[in-house]
Amino acid sequence: MTTKPAASHLLLSTPRRPPPPPPTSRLLLHLSFFLLHLHCFTSALPHQLSRGFSAHPSSNPPPPLSSSSSLSFQPILDDPTGNFSLGFLLLPSPPALLHLAVVHLPSALPVWRAAPAASARWSDSASLSFNGSLIFSDRTGAVLWSAGGSPAGDRLVLLNSSNLQIQKLSGSIVWQSFDSPFDTLVQGQNLTSSATLFSADRRYSMRLGTNYVALYMAAGTNTVMYWQVTALEERAEIVKGAGPIYARVDPLGFLGLYQNETARVHVMAFDTFNRGIPGFRRLTLETDGNLRAYYWNAYSWVPDFTAISDVCELPAHCGAYGVCTMAKGDCGCLDEDRTGDGCLPSDAGNLCGGKFWELRRTGVELPYKDLLVSQKVGSREECESGCQRNCSCWGALYNNATGNCYRMDFPVETLLATGDRHRVGYFKVRNARSGKEGKKEPLVGLVAVLVVGLPVFAGVAMFGAYRMWEYRRRAGGALMEEGISPGSYKEFKNSSSFREIELSGSGR
Ligand SMILES: *[C@@H]1O[C@H](CO)[C@@H](O)[C@H](O)[C@H]1NC(C)=O
Ligand SMILES: *[C@@H]1O[C@H](CO)[C@@H](O)[C@H](O)[C@H]1NC(C)=O
Ligand SMILES: *[C@@H]1O[C@H](CO)[C@@H](O)[C@H](O)[C@H]1NC(C)=O
Ligand SMILES: *[C@@H]1O[C@H](CO)[C@@H](O)[C@H](O)[C@H]1NC(C)=O
Ligand SMILES: *[C@@H]1O[C@H](CO)[C@@H](O)[C@H](O)[C@H]1NC(C)=O
Ligand SMILES: *[C@@H]1O[C@H](CO)[C@@H](O)[C@H](O)[C@H]1NC(C)=O
Ligand SMILES: *[C@@H]1O[C@H](CO)[C@@H](O)[C@H](O)[C@H]1NC(C)=O
């Protein structure tokens, strides 16, 4: 890893340039420039920064961190081991945005990022400054993100654990990045009940409850719990009123749940639990909704724990109204008229005041059905009608063998195909877009295209004809291609009615 040369990109803000020195001191100046460069290439970045510090991104983003990574990173502050750096990160995912991040340099992996609103275009007038608070501003000077506050800190320190701290001179901690996790918990980092771990796209989250840790999916404006581990309380019991529990990845290879340091209430063991693996560990909530643990073996991150082992059990593996076939992981659609990527569009909110049509499918279930509201009912009809009448219900799953009825109070995502004929699913689909009734829509769409489109076409044609006439009049009849405006087709393509036709056309 050659990260040190990047240090020369670091532009510390300096006072206005001094006047040119007299010729006698030129040699000295050259010498000091040489030494400065040498310094930049040989010594590490600082491990701590004092009040008054500020840094700017270089005018061009530095080259990618490694051949296998597309991240550009400009370090500002190193930890004492040189394993971690705080700096400006350019994430390539479109649009490429500037973030503030702590990166594990050997793997080019960001282990912490400032909250997602804290991103901007890469610009050398963006800045990170420390005046007691840490302040990340965009090129206009607008504050994107800040940390600390009162009391004001005296120094910014990056610890060898990857924890970024604002400290007082006394060593007391004013703020630490460990308390505001992004998508990763590293070993030794506490996840408290007041913090949330999010996937990088913010769709999934991990939070603690009174006696459990759980994963949630955002489905429209709702959230649904799809994975939960309840504390076994083997070594210690959770005492009511003795404070909330917290979680921490242990170097021995487990996620521990604690009520206090002496009261460990649960051990969620990783594969290498207690096998003496010295590697640095992390737990990451990934963008597929899975929670995975890894350890660093000096070359790569070795997977060590996966919360959900079958992809079909991921809550959105096949998208909205999708069906996943167990073991094979193949995706299909709940609506058997549709296949592949053309399932029904995802929805949000509830159906109160809106119209819907109904879809039934035998042999499907939700892997996390036991986390849903359920009740015993006498028949499938009873299960369905309870959902049908309630506009915050999007679907119901009935098990004919047990009489259990599970209610889905969130927009329909991926279901699991089990082939079990006892299980029947009932789902609502909003009327607005193409669907069963929507099969008439192509006609409606066509009418819309004609109604909206004809005048446009007529206008374009008349304009074209006018231009042609004008040109012919001036240039004596030579043909001009410009008259046929390409904009007219584009306008059509962008109109929603046209898209609807394309959608229903490709959805088959
Ligand atoms: C640091 O700067 C911010 C933004 O300019 C300001 O709001 C804050 O009061 C400053 N803090 C101190 C301790 O000067
Ligand atoms: C990290 O720092 C702590 C205390 O500052 C120290 O005890 C520990 O040995 C360090 N770990 C590594 C890997 O340098
Ligand atoms: C984690 O929480 C425990 C108990 O509150 C505390 O003693 C410890 O210092 C915390 N660790 C970090 C890194 O904040
Ligand atoms: C930790 O919690 C247990 C109850 O689970 C309690 O008995 C014990 O006194 C607590 N210890 C401390 C140091 O608070
Ligand atoms: C940190 O650096 C040391 C030595 O350079 C290395 O042995 C260790 O694996 C590194 N740790 C991490 C987490 O990268
Ligand atoms: C509809 O379902 C929601 C969510 O389960 C529930 O809170 C509400 O009471 C139900 N409304 C009726 C009228 O049953
Ligand atoms: C449900 O169970 C009843 C009796 O066990 C059976 O007659 C019926 O066909 C089953 N329906 C379905 C959809 O499996």
Q: What is the pLDDT of residue 419?
A: 86
Q: Count Cβ atoms within 10 A of the Cβ of residue 471 and give its class: 0-12 exposed, 13-18 middle, 19 or more buried.
A: middle
pLDDT exceeds cutoff 60 at 294 = yes
Q: What is the pLDDT of residue 116?
A: 66
pLDDT exceeds cutoff 80 at 225 = yes
Question: How far apart (Å, rounded) are the C-alpha atoms in residues 272 and 303?
Answer: 10
Nearest to 79 by CA among 104, 113, 54: 104
pLDDT exceeds cutoff 90 at 336 = no
Determine which of 216-220, 375-379, 453-457 has the lowest per-residue pLDDT on average. Answer: 453-457
- The average pLDDT across 117-135 equals 87
Question: Tell me, what amino acid is at 302?
Answer: V
Residue with CA closest to ligand 2 atom 8: 160
- The average pLDDT across 14-20 equals 36
Q: What is the pLDDT of residue 428?
A: 95
Q: What is the DSSP secondary structure assignment for residue 415, as one 8-state letter?
A: E
Residue with CA closest to ligand 7 atom 14: 422
* Torsion angle of the four alpha carbons 78, 83, 87, 90, in this order, in degrees rounded to the nearest 10: 160
Structure-token match 């789902």, residue found: 427
What's the Cα-to-Cα distance from 98 to each of 117, 124, 219, 257, rounded to whole Å? 11, 11, 28, 35
Confidence of residue 44 (pLDDT cuts 50, 70, 90): low
pLDDT exceeds cutoff 70 at 340 = no
Residue 152 alpha carbon, nearest atom of ligand 1: 13
**Residue to mutate (ligand 4; options 210, 232, 259; most atoms within 8 A of CB):** 259
**Looking at per-residue confidence, does 496 or 432 come out higher?**
432
Distance from the CA of 133 to the center of ligand 1, in angstroms?
7
Q: What is the pLDDT of residue 274?
A: 92
Residues with CB under 6 A from ligand 7: 400, 421-422, 424
- The average pLDDT across 335-353 equals 80
Angle at 248 between CA 244 and CA 252, to 5 degrees: 140
Question: How far apart (Å, rounded) are the C-alpha atoms in residues 116 and 323?
Answer: 31
Q: What is the pLDDT of residue 389?
A: 94
Beta pairing, strands 423-430 & 395-399: antiparallel
Helix (H) / strand (E) containing 363:
none
168 alpha carbon, distance to own chain's centre: 33
> Is residue 416 classed as helix, strand or coil in its secondary structure?
strand
How much of the chain, in percent, has pLDDT values that exceed 90?
58
Nearest to 437 by CA among 446, 429, 425, 447: 429
pLDDT exceeds cutoff 60 at 91 = yes
Question: How far apart (Å, rounded) are the C-alpha atoms in residues 214 and 338?
Answer: 33
pLDDT exceeds cutoff 70 at 380 = yes
How much of the chain, in percent, has pLDDT values that exceed 70?
75
| Strand arrangement of the beta sheet that strand 212-219 belongs to | 197-198, 204-208, 212-219, 222-230
Helix (H) / strand (E) containing 136:
strand 134-137
Concatenating the DSSP letter of every residue in 149-211 gives: -SSPPSEEEE-TTS-EEEE-TTS-EEEEGGGS--SEEETT-EE-TT--EE-TTSSEEEEE-SS
Q: What is the DSSP secondary structure assignment for residue 9, as one 8-state letter?
A: G
Question: How far apart (Å, rounded) are the C-alpha atoms in residues 220 and 448?
Answer: 29
Confidence of residue 341 (pLDDT cuts 50, 70, 90): low
Q: Count Cβ atoms within 10 A of the Cβ of residue 262 and give its class: 0-12 exposed, 13-18 middle, 19 or more buried.
A: exposed
pLDDT exceeds cutoff 60 at 496 = no
pLDDT exceeds cutoff 80 at 29 = no
Q: Are 326 and 416 in contact (CB under 8 A)?
A: yes
**Looking at per-residue confidence, does 443 or 282 come out higher?**
282
Q: What is the pLDDT of residue 239?
A: 93
Backbone angles phi, psi at 480, to 5 degrees: -120, 120
Residues with CB under 6 A from ligand 4: 236-237, 239, 242, 259-260, 262-263
Determine if ligand 6 sits within 6 Å of the CB of residue 485: no
Distance from the CA of 182 to the center of ligand 4, in angstroms?
30
Q: What is the pLDDT of residue 491?
A: 31
**Residue to mutate (ligand 6; options 351, 382, 392, 410; most atoms within 8 A of CB):** 392
pLDDT exceeds cutoff 60 at 8 = no
pTM of the entire predicted model: 0.79
Bond preceding residue 151 cis, omega within 30 of 0: yes
pLDDT tens, residue by residue, 189-217 = 999 999 999 999 999 999 999 999 999 99
**Residue to mutate (ligand 1; options 50, 127, 128, 131; most atoms within 8 A of CB):** 131
Q: What is the pLDDT of residue 245?
A: 97
pLDDT exceeds cutoff 70 at 486 = no
Q: What is the pLDDT of residue 329?
A: 82
pLDDT exceeds cutoff 50 at 479 = no
Distance from the CA of 240 to the center of ligand 4, in angstroms?
11
Question: How far apart (Å, rounded) are the C-alpha atoms in residues 240 and 480?
Answer: 83
- The average pLDDT across 226-237 equals 94
Question: How far apart (Å, rounded) are the C-alpha atoms in residues 187 and 484?
Answer: 64
Determine if ligand 1 sits within 6 Å of the CB of residue 149: no
Confidence of residue 339 (pLDDT cuts 50, 70, 90): low
Determine if ligand 1 sits within 6 Å of the CB of residue 152: yes
Average of per-residue pLDDT values in the chain: 79
Q: How far apart are the first and last CA of the chain?
A: 50
Q: What is the pLDDT of residue 284?
A: 98
Confidence of residue 66 (pLDDT cuts 50, 70, 90): confident
Residue 81 alpha carbon, nearest atom of ligand 2: 14
Q: What is the pLDDT of residue 442?
A: 37
